Structure 1
Amino acid sequence: MSMFCFQCQEAAKGTGCTIAGVCGKTSDVANLQDTLLYVLKGICWYNEKLRNVGANPKKVDKLVFDGLFSTITNANFDAAVFTKRIIKALQLRNELHVLSKEAGVALPEELPAIATWTGSTTEEFEAKAEEVGVMSTENEDIRSLRELIIYGVKGLAAYAEHAYNLGSQKDEIFQFMQRALVATTEDLSVDELVALTLETGKFGVDVMALLDAANTGSYGNPEATKVNIGVRNNPAILISGHDMKDMEELLKQTEGTGVDVYTHSEMLPAHYYPAFKKYEHLVGNYGNAWWKQNTEFESFNGPILFTTNCIVPPKDSATYTNRIYTTGASGLAGAIHIPDRKDGKMKDFSAIIEHAKKCAAPQEIETGEITGGFAHAQVFALADKIVDAVKTGAIKKFFVMAGCDGRMKSRDYYTEFADKLPQDTVILTAGCAKYRYNKLPLGDIGGIPRVIDAGQCNDSYSLAVIALKLKEVFELNDINELPIAYNIAWYEQKAVIVLLALLQLGVKNIHLGPTLPAFLSPNVVNVLVENFGIAGITEAEKDLEQFMSAE
């Protein structure tokens, strides 16, 4: 094997990518990511000890969560970036070693390898991955649980970074992330790892609550909004990814320039926030979920800004390669990278704005509107109407169909499933999974849309809050007594933390597809089935019958 990666739903042959990632990740990038993760664990080992004596440097937190975020599927494909990250991480780890001695930390005589290994060249970094990558854990069940925790922590890191960019942070979350990474290097039992997995879910709830408060505190509570999917005849920038701070700063800097801004994929929910509605040049949403970008970016004509993950490396024949810009944890070899903020100032988007001015207006690929903006505050405003609809039988069941979209043909299942749902059912969604059905003519029930879109993948938190509120309103003892079924699509590590968060909240009988994660060993799957009723999907009609007949 030249690499091994099975962290996303596209793992080759349902087991793992060993030559190159189906996502487009090359073996050198995969190996460098494994080595970066290893060095980050060493940093966390020192920082935990420094934290115990109150001497942990704050700069560690950002380096750790930013490094983790960069290794999420489809976030960064630039090998040179990972070489630089490893060198910087090794320098910091060595600083922490010195600081530990100065702070009087009692270090063991024999330090663990994560605290001592060093290298200086890309070749050394790549070679190290063979020793420390996924397959270095021989026991299949221990490996499965360790990776499940690591992928959950990667999801934590993504949401923690978004909140951090908006000025919100919790030391408890940083502390847990670092403690959990170190724990995956220790000789823990299966039971201890299962407990740590559920604890990861607890912090998943915490970080999504933190980000929700950061987003709404900065931009207001999302409102029910109709979003244009057509175009205007102006040059434009397409912004993709998830980071709302980048959206805010891009809108401010493009105002009055004659350059329009369109959202793509997971940035669609930016339209729901009141603070962004004042920008007349925020025109609408262009295209669909991330995996269609190879065709849709060609017709957009203007530059594309990736703020986070969900990059598909362009084909050699692509004409938009020189129009790609990255920022934050995202990266792509050959793309122009916009540096981070410094000294409290905004990022400088002048280069992409000037580029846009020289481009033709986007080519229209569809027309009409799509509706969203039903985060928890907006749904609570409709609570009386929703409760009445349930009590009168107008709504028989809610289906949580949150999560990710992807390019596998089997994901047509979710379109078919949504289309076949009875007219007295409502879909609760968040994340780019919605693109499988948010343009279907599903209508409404007494003014309540049959697709209630809460927003981005992290806004799955809203769906949990809504469920807990309904539990309270109907005076139920258990969240699983609600008329809510869970049929969730997953793709990458942010979906993993959402899943763990739902499990921690006590949600059971979640169906997960289009395939179960390759990183779950048969025994770990059995634990999830026995304790939480986790199941896969089969055929849309068959699954629908099962869901509708369930009490």
Structure 2
Amino acid sequence: MFCYQCQEAARGIACDIRGICGKEPEVSDLQDMLIWVTKGLSYWNLKAKEYGIKDDEVNLFVAEALFATITNVNFSAKRISQMIDKAIELRDRIKEEFLKAYEKKHGKKFNEKVPEPADWSTPGGMSVYELKGAEVGVLLDKNEDIRSLKQFLIYGLKGVAAYADHAYILKHTNDEILYFIQKGLVETLRNDITADELVGLILETGKYAVEVMALLDKANTSTYGHPEITKVYTGTYNTPAILVSGHDLLDLEELLKQTEGTGIKVYTHGEMLPAHAYPELKKYKHLAGNFGNSWWKQDKEFEEFGGAILMTTNCLVPPKETYKDRVFTTGLVGFDGVTHIPNRVDGKPKDFSPVIQKALELGPIPERPGKELTIGFAHDQVSKVLDSVLEAVKAGKIKKFFVMAGCDGRHSSREYYTEFAKKLPNDTVILTAGCAKYRYNKLDLGDIDGIPRVLDAGQCNDSYSLAVTALKLKEILGLDDINELPIEYNIAWYEQKAVAVLLALLYLGVRKIKLGPTLPAFLSPNVLKVVAEKFNISTISDVENDIKTMLA
């Protein structure tokens, strides 16, 4: 295996024995194989598109395949192998449709040379897939800079694909976004592609990252209402309980409906915290609060929780044997030996009865005291208090805003973000989204004229809200450049959704971003130099120096 897509790549280079995330080598190779055959599927699907053939199943599958390979989504060799089977089946189907359409139009057979994954077919199943995956993984491209740029593009596409899948689940889709994902994948098959062409595609990925986050924002708010400023309890009650982690709001809603009247209380974990701010979800009285912190503390917090646990979308940590029997996965999440809740069929809700039954069998969890977190500062709510914010800015009571969005992670170096928040002057406000906030959202940082010093917009995809807020301020203040705003960007990254968010910020013109705790291992020295110079991106250093520099 050779994997360096996340911030915790071993030695800052790559995981080549076993993933720091817990991914086994065979799973890593199978995921590389899935990406490779999905490129072949995308090749034929784009050809078919030219002849008016549209296959919604293919379009969705490509997004799902990329999402399934994001860090901490699917650790199951069996599930990934089944997805490879599906990719080949869909590839051959859409290929056949294209070939018929081509021959009908031109009166002759299609006879062009095609990329290897567009035609590859060797029997043998999982064992053959694993061997081929090891051959066609990251190191297939020998030129370090081209390899770096191709992987940068693919990781951005993975983030866009994840958000597109989230939106699709809520019946919101955009074919242009899905076809761009396929175009990007197919372009990485070219041996003659130039660095400039790849840079162009990477920047274009930022455009589609903005569009897909806007699409998901529309999906969430049209389904569940605009987030409202809400206080969320972090303690637990002495009743049967289910803890929901991940990102999927529809999974949570269906579970809430199915647990009404059962005596079970439902809690959120990690990136599900923002669910409490949506009117159509907070109306469920047994949505009791948020337990725990960000994803990487699962091994301790899931064990401590005591109830049933439902893992939606990404951010799964390989579960310990001590609590593995009460963990359930659903959607694209996979781990061998864990009960999986199947997808919806014929428009019917998922059946969460196994999760509910487990919660009832386990009985009441311990009662624990907690505090209240204030959330719900998405763009709609911020716009309602914008006059107060502007008054505070004009009066000098708010000197600067610090966007501290992104991902959390397990490395001790991330304590930097806690110290950074603590040491910011009292006339500054933190704008946050994603699980990075768990480094400081329980600190008592106070407020400025009633405006909390930590404004939590929601999940990682709600970084879109922060961008909307910044653009609104730019418009109101009559500025020509978003970088003229009193906003500094100190972004923490971990996985590929964060790569998409970063590209979205770059597309919107944001410069002088500090990125940490380390710069991506997938950026070669030459590519890193170009990125740093072109976009003025730098890594974090020490807290005092960074605050001094950013306040200046």
TM-score computed with the length of structure 2 as normaliser = 0.98
Query: Runs of 4 or more off by more than 2 Å in structure 1?
Result: 105-111, 360-366
Q: Aligned partners of 2:165, 2:98: CA distance in 1, in Å? A: 26
Per-residue deviation, 1:360: 3.2
Q: Aligned partners of 2:177, 2:52: CA distance in 1, in Å? A: 16
Say whether residues 1:77 and 2:75 are aligned partners: yes
- 3-state SS in 2 of match to 1:358: helix
Contact 2:73 2:334 survives alignment (8 Å): yes
Q: Aligned partners of 2:125, 2:193: CA distance in 1, in Å? A: 33
- 3-state SS in 1 of match to 2:102: coil
**Residues 302-345 of structure 1, C-alpha deviations (whole Å, 9 max, x = no match):** 11111111111023xx4111011111111111111111111111
Q: Aligned partners of 1:53, 1:293: CA distance in 2, in Å? A: 48
Q: Aligned partners of 1:127, 1:370: CA distance in 2, in Å? A: 49
Q: Aligned partners of 1:438, 1:521: CA distance in 2, in Å? A: 34
Per-residue deviation, 1:509: 0.5
- Give 1:321's aligned residue: 324
Residue number among 1, 5, 9 corresponding to 2:7 in the alignment: 9
**Residues 361-420 of structure 1, C-alpha deviations (whole Å, 9 max, x = no match):** 333555111111000000000000000000000000000000000000000000000000
Residue number among 244, 268, 281 corresponding to 1:276 in the alignment: 281
Residue number among 374, 383, 396 corresponding to 2:399 in the alignment: 396
Residue number among 217, 223, 235 corresponding to 1:218 in the alignment: 223
- Give 1:348's aligned residue: 351
Q: Aligned partners of 1:108, 1:159: CA distance in 2, in Å? A: 37
- 3-state SS in 2 of match to 1:34: helix
Residue number among 317, 340, 353 corresponding to 1:312 in the alignment: 317
Q: Aligned partners of 2:274, 2:315: CA distance in 1, in Å? A: 16
Contact 1:9 1:490 survives alignment (8 Å): yes
Q: Aligned partners of 1:388, 1:170: CA distance in 2, in Å? A: 39
Which stretches in structure 1 are left out of the alignment for 5+ residues? Answer: none
**Residues 229-288 of structure 1, C-alpha deviations (whole Å, 9 max, x = no match):** 011111011000001111111111111111110000000000010111210100000000
Contact 2:172 2:215 survives alignment (8 Å): yes
Contact 2:237 2:368 survives alignment (8 Å): no
Contact 2:238 2:367 survives alignment (8 Å): no
Say whether residues 1:94 and 2:99 are aligned partners: no
Q: Aligned partners of 1:286, 1:355: CA distance in 2, in Å? A: 19
- 3-state SS in 2 of match to 1:63: helix
- Shifted more, 124-133 versus 21-30: the winner is 124-133
- Give 1:30's aligned residue: 28
Contact 1:46 1:115 survives alignment (8 Å): yes
**Residues 127-148 of structure 1, C-alpha deviations (whole Å, 9 max, x = no match):** 0022210000111111111001
Contact 1:401 1:486 survives alignment (8 Å): yes
Q: Aligned partners of 1:98, 1:64: CA distance in 2, in Å? A: 18
Contact 2:242 2:267 survives alignment (8 Å): yes
- Give 2:106's aligned residue: none
- 3-state SS in 2 of match to 1:104: helix
Q: Aligned partners of 2:80, 2:369: CA distance in 1, in Å? A: 38
Contact 1:225 1:272 survives alignment (8 Å): yes
**Residues 138-173 of structure 1, C-alpha deviations (whole Å, 9 max, x = no match):** 111111110011001100111001100101001101
Kindly provide the amino acid, as one letter, of the partner of residue 98 in structure 2: S
- Give 1:56's aligned residue: 54
Say whether residues 1:516 and 2:519 are aligned partners: yes
Contact 2:237 2:366 survives alignment (8 Å): no
- Give 1:162's aligned residue: 166
Q: Aligned partners of 2:148, 2:364: CA distance in 1, in Å? A: 48
Per-residue deviation, 1:225: 0.6
Q: Aligned partners of 2:98, 2:85: CA distance in 1, in Å? A: 20
- Give 1:143's aligned residue: 147
Kindly provide the amino acid, as one letter, of the partner of residue 443 in structure 1: G
- Give 2:379's aligned residue: 376
Q: Aligned partners of 1:365, 1:287: CA distance in 2, in Å? A: 12
Contact 1:299 1:363 survives alignment (8 Å): no
Superposition CA RMSD, Å: 1.0
Q: Aligned partners of 1:401, 1:126: CA distance in 2, in Å? A: 39
Kindly provide the amino acid, as one letter, of the partner of residue 73 in structure 1: T
Kindly provide the amino acid, as one letter, of the partner of residue 393 in structure 2: V
Aligned residues: 545
Contact 1:234 1:361 survives alignment (8 Å): yes
Q: Compared with structure 1, are the counterparts of its residues 442 and 207 closer, same or farther at alpha carbon in structure 2 (3 Å cutoff)?
A: same
- Give 1:485's aligned residue: 488
Per-residue deviation, 1:351: 1.1
- Give 1:175's aligned residue: 179
TM-score computed with the length of structure 1 as normaliser = 0.98
- Give 1:132's aligned residue: 136
